[in-house]
């Protein structure tokens, strides 16, 4: 069984949302000196094993400390909103609801079936869902939460209303889940070969994205040329694909029909950083 090891925390850089006619805001991160900083909304430090995620509007960071406490940071404010989360394992990251009002996190275990809890971003309304094997790198869209297993042998999807969990079809191995389509069916992830090492479970700076319909197992291939180093669904159903570049990376945005709707360059200074969110 592949094991997941703790790592340093991340440096998160937030780029403000731009007008609709320009490039959208981007959320980047990188691991650096055991501290996390995001801008232009202020500076913060997140500890633990790098268990963090950024809200849909890019203004807040949810993170889990070494004691299993779930924090929400906004500017200089840091509030503990829940306790009892899996800690010390970078794969067990919290996930924001699409509307940014709730946060989901795994409880009590990271390499077996574990319950998922949901709590309001203000610390109210905490509840437990059913158990799932998909506890790593949770992604939330619609009423679905998806995550990969602690032993990296697949992806599971749990319904946030019924609490029922199912294994995603078409996925035999993964050590990263990036996002779900708005209907909760298609998942963007990093695929693993049967003999591949699972790694430490931290957010990867870049990866070859694979997209699969979790109900049918059918694979979706973006019609984008170049070396793909990431992808994620936007809230309107479009797909943002990250393409590697010599001086800067490029984001190509595709419609649900897989037609190019936009293309823009990332800031060159973030070429070697990870892309966490497109706002």
Domain residue ranges in the chain: 10-215
47 burial level (CB within 10 Å; 0-12, 13-18, 19+): middle
* The pLDDT value given to residue 29: 85
pLDDT 10s per residue in the chain (279 long)? 444 433 434 444 444 443 333 456 888 887 876 545 444 454 455 776 789 999 998 889 999 998 999 999 887 889 999 999 999 889 999 999 999 999 999 997 656 789 999 999 999 999 999 999 999 999 999 999 999 998 999 999 999 999 999 999 999 999 999 999 999 999 999 999 877 888 888 889 999 999 999 999 999 999 999 999 999 999 999 999 999 999 999 999 999 999 999 999 998 988 998 898 898
Asked whether the whole model's pTM tops 0.85, one would answer yes
Q: Left if phi > 0, otherwise alpha if psi is -120 to 50, otherwise beta: which for 246? A: alpha
Task: Name 128's Cβ contacts closer than 8 Å, sequence gap at least 6.
Answer: 107, 115, 116, 117
Q: How many helices (H) and strands (E) does the chain have?
A: 0, 23
| Fold observed for domain 10-215 | Neuraminidase (2.120.10)
Separation of alpha carbons 25 and 14, rounded Å: 8
Separation of alpha carbons 160 and 252, rounded Å: 31
Closest CA to 134 of 104, 165, 100, 107: 165
* The pLDDT value given to residue 27: 85
* The pLDDT value given to residue 17: 42
Closest CA to 38 of 57, 18, 59: 59
Separation of alpha carbons 148 and 156, rounded Å: 6
């Amino acid at each position: 069984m592949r094991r997941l090891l703790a790592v340093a925390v991340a440096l998160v850089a937030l780029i403000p949302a731009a007008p609709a006619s320009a490039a959208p805001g981007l959320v980047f991160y990188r691991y650096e000196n055991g501290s996390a900083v995001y801008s232009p909304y202020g500076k913060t430090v997140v500890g633990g094993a790098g268990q963090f995620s950024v809200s849909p509007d890019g203004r807040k960071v949810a993170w889990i400390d070494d004691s299993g406490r779930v924090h929400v940071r906004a500017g200089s404010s840091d509030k503990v909103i829940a306790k009892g989360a899996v800690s010390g394992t970078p794969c067990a990251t919290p996930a924001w609801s699409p509307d940014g009002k709730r946060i989901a996190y795994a409880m009590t275990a990271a390499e077996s079936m574990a319950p998922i809890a949901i709590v309001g971003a203000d610390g109210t309304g905490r509840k437990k869902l059913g158990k799932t094997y998909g506890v790593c790198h949770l992604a939330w869209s619609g009423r679905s939460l998806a995550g990969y297993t602690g032993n990296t042998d697949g992806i599971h999807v749990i319904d946030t209303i019924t609490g029922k969990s199912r294994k995603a079809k078409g996925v035999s191995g993964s050590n990263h889940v990036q996002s779900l389509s708005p209907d909760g069916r298609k998942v963007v992830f990093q695929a693993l070969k049967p003999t591949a090492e699972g790694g430490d479970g931290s957010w990867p700076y870049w990866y070859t994205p694979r997209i699969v319909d979790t109900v049918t197992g059918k694979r979706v291939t973006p019609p984008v040329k170049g070396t793909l180093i990431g992808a994620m669904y936007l809230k309107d159903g479009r797909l943002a694909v990250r393409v590697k570049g010599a001086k800067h990376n490029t984001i190509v945005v595709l419609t649900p029909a897989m037609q190019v709707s936009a293309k823009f360059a990332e800031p060159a200074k973030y070429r070697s950083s990870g892309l966490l969110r497109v706002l």
